[in-house]
Amino acid sequence: MRSSLVNRIPVGILGATGTVGQKFIVLLQDHPYFEIAELVASEKSAGQRYGDIVKWKQDVPVPASVATMKIKTTEDALSAKILFSGMDSSVAGPAETAYAEKGHVVISNSKNHRMDADVPLVIPEINADHLELVRKQKHSGAIITNSNCSTMFLAMTLAPLQAAFGIEAVHVTTMQAISGAGYPGVPSLDILGNVIPYIGDEEEKMETEPQKILGTLKNGGIEPAPFVVSAQCNRVAVVDGHTETLSIKFREKPSVNDVKRVLAGFSGLPQERKLPFAPVHPIIVTEQQDHPQPARDVWLERGMATIVGRIRPCPILDMKMVILGHNTVRGAAGAAILNGETYVELGYLES
């Protein structure tokens, strides 16, 4: 187990000046497993000190240890074995592949490789066993991905319910925070006092990723979970926290209390191993009728929990509810860090 080791593992941050890259930097401060050793950004930043060029948008100052680091580019050789990627999807695909071919372990928040047959799409509480797919990859390193930010909270909610009752169909409508659009994100005149009922590629991700995440590792591949998802995705004027309303059709018909019991009792490998970024309660069921709310609940469990409320019968399907999660923590950088912890804890880095 990693907890028996003393020296921290040097890691690099890809896309270090972006919003996800910045969140990686904040969350990795004083991490017991990992230590930031290298920062990678665009060519226009090459050779400059991070603190001099970054447009910092976090709630805490740029860490002093990172502020003086000089920016590298994707053309530079890196020494860190593990690379956390917050790169924009327009450049992430080939760059992440190139790093994996050079022997790096890329733990990516980008969409490019999520649905590749040999790339694990991991939520460790659900499918840590899918990390075995890295042994099928042709390069000397590896690529591991976490899900789309909205898929994260949907899959976290569906996984224990699928195991207990079987799921046949899901309808989900999202109300997604503007921080999910990155910086500068959505223009103020478009989002203030408004709802934008379209987010590019978002519905397609939510309709395909959960089946891979909840699928079964079989014969060296993933057999997708046999349920269908219909998604409608909206951008709303909330800073942090994606809210989603779900209606679910089950194979077996649970009661409201059955659903609450299964969700509240859910845990997985990160909780069993007490990994640093693992929430003690990965799913929090709230009984407050007007919760979950982004402004009130998004930082529960340090932003790493999925909060579920208003669980009640659905007159069209079987059950409906409201879920919430922190899109840039559990839905992005925090999820990738937990994937990295799981990869190390299970011994893949040393194998």
Q: Catalytic pick from 130, 149, 233, 326?
A: 149
CB 250 within 8 A of CB 189: no
How many separate helices (H) and strands (E) can be counted in the chain?
12, 13
| Placement of tokens 């050079």 in the chain | 102
Peptide bond into 226 cis (omega under 30): no
CA distance 270 to 302: 15
Q: What is the rounded distance in angstroms from the CA atom of residue 265 to the CA atom of residue 250?
A: 19
User: For the chain, what's the residue count?
Assistant: 351
For this structure, is 149 an active site residue?
yes
Collect all residues with Cβ–Cβ distance below 8 Å to 70 and sequence separation of at least 6: 39, 47, 48, 49, 50
233 catalytic residue (yes or no):
no
Strand-pair category, 242-250 with 228-235: unpaired
Rounded CA-CA distance 99/120 in Å is 17
Catalytic residue among 104, 171, 242, 326: 242
* Token couple for 75: 């053309």
Q: Which residues form the catalytic set?
A: 149, 242
